[in-house]
Amino acid sequence: MGKFDGAAFARAYRAFMNEQEEPETPPESTPEDNEQALEDIRERLRPILYNDEMIDEFAPVFFKLKDSEQVEQIYSLLESKESQIKELSSGDYFKQESSPEDKQEHEDSEESEEDAINYVDQILQQRYNDN
């Protein structure tokens, strides 16, 4: 293994941080376009976040991601999770699918199993107690 060069690491780290600090903005975007894009993002986040404070907090983050290739995947994931939450909260997910008659039949079958076990025990006790 080679020796760790701290100075080279520091130079590479500074270069990386300088690249991160200089966000690239397309030259054709105007403040009006940016404001409209930010408002569109707010509207898209509204059904997911509900709270205006949270929307205001996360809108700039999504604005920075707007040119990213994966931003649509993020929106899709959030929207699908939101629909799952709505489904769970509506109660339909936990709705009983069996009828009360099915429950009665199940209880009857459990009782008959218990009777069969008791009947076998009775026969065994009679047979071995008599001997």
How far is residue 112's CA from residue 105's CA, in Å, rounded to a whole number? 10
- Mean pLDDT within 65-75: 88
Tokens of 94: 């936990």
Question: Rounded to an integer, what distance in angstroms lies between the CA atom of residue 110 and that of residue 101?
Answer: 14
pLDDT tens, residue by residue, 3-51: 666 667 677 777 777 776 555 555 566 878 889 999 999 999 999 888 8
pLDDT digits (tens, 9 = 90+) for 114-127: 556 778 888 888 88
Q: CA angle, corner 43, sides to 40 and 46, nearest 5?
A: 150
